[in-house]
Amino acid sequence: MKKLAAEAFGTFWLVFGGCGSAVLAAGFPEVGIGLMGVSFAFGLTVLTMAYAVGGISGGHFNPAVSVGLGVAGKFDMKELPGYVIAQIIGGTLGALVLYLIVSGKGDFSGVGGFASNGYGEFSPGGFSLVSVIIAEVVLTAMFLIIILGSTSRLVPAGFAPISIGLGLTLIHLISIPVSNTSVNPARSLAVAFFAETPALSQVWVFWVAPIIGAAIGAVIWKALLAPAEE
C-alpha cells in the first residue's frame, strides 16, 4: 500500500504542478511563465517527487514508465495493474483540485482545454495525428532510455532524479507545440475528464503512443546500451 500511495501522491503532484502551471501561470498578464516555465514545472514535479517518494515505489508516476521498466526487467509486471490504478487516481485528484481552484476565479467562464493533449485542431500548433504519434513514441522512448541510464549501476548514485527531471523538461520544450506533451497516459486522462474539448475522444492516442514508445526505449536499452552486468 505504501508503494501505491507513493505513486498516487507523485502523480497527483505531477498533474497538479505541471498542468497547474499551464492553466494558472503560463499566460498570466505581464509575468506569465510561458512555455519554458511550464516545461520546467513538469520537470520539477518529477524531480521533487522522485526524491520525496521514489525510494518507496521507484518513482514511476506514469503508466508508460511502469510498462517500460517492466519490459526492461526492472519492475515486476505483476504489480503493474495496481501501479496504473494508483497513478490514474492520483492524477485525477490532482486535476480535480486544480479544477476547484480555477472555477473559483471571479470571472470564471469555463476551463477550456485545461492543459489537455490533442492532435489536429486540438494540437497547440495544429499538428496532425501522425506527427503527434511520432513525437510521443520517440520522446517516450528517449525518456525511458534516460531513466534506465540514469539509474544504471555505472552512474553515481543519487543524481538520477535530476537527470530524469531535466529530461522531462527538455521533452516538454520540444513537444508542447505538437501535442501539449503527454508521454504520460495518466496525466492525459486526468485532465481530459475536465476539459471542455473532445480531449476524452483523443486520449487513446496518449495511451497507445507513450506505451509503445516506452517499450521501444526499454528494448533499445537492453539490446544496445545496458552494461554487461545488467
- Note the pLDDT of residue 229: 65
- What CATH class has 2-225? mainly alpha
Q: Is the pLDDT of residue 185 over 70?
A: yes
Q: Residue 194 — φ and ψ, nearest 5°? A: -110, -15
Domain boundaries, the chain: 2-225
Confidence class for position 31, pLDDT limits 50, 70, 90:
confident
Output the pTM of the full model: 0.95
First to last CA, the chain: 28
Residue 192 · residue 203 · CB < 8 Å: yes
Residue 225 · residue 151 · CB < 8 Å: no
Q: How far apart are CA 10 and CA 125, in angstroms?
A: 29
Residue 13 · residue 45 · CB < 8 Å: yes
Reported as a single tens digit per residue, the pLDDT across 127-162 is: 999 999 999 999 999 999 999 999 998 888 889 999
Q: How far apart are CA 180 and CA 99, in angstroms?
A: 18
Residue 159 · residue 61 · CB < 8 Å: no
Residue 91 · residue 98 · CB < 8 Å: no
Reported as a single tens digit per residue, the pLDDT across 218-229 is: 999 999 988 776
Please work out, in degrees rounded to the nearest 5, the angle formed at the alpha carbon of residue 230 by the alpha carbons of 84 and 71.
30
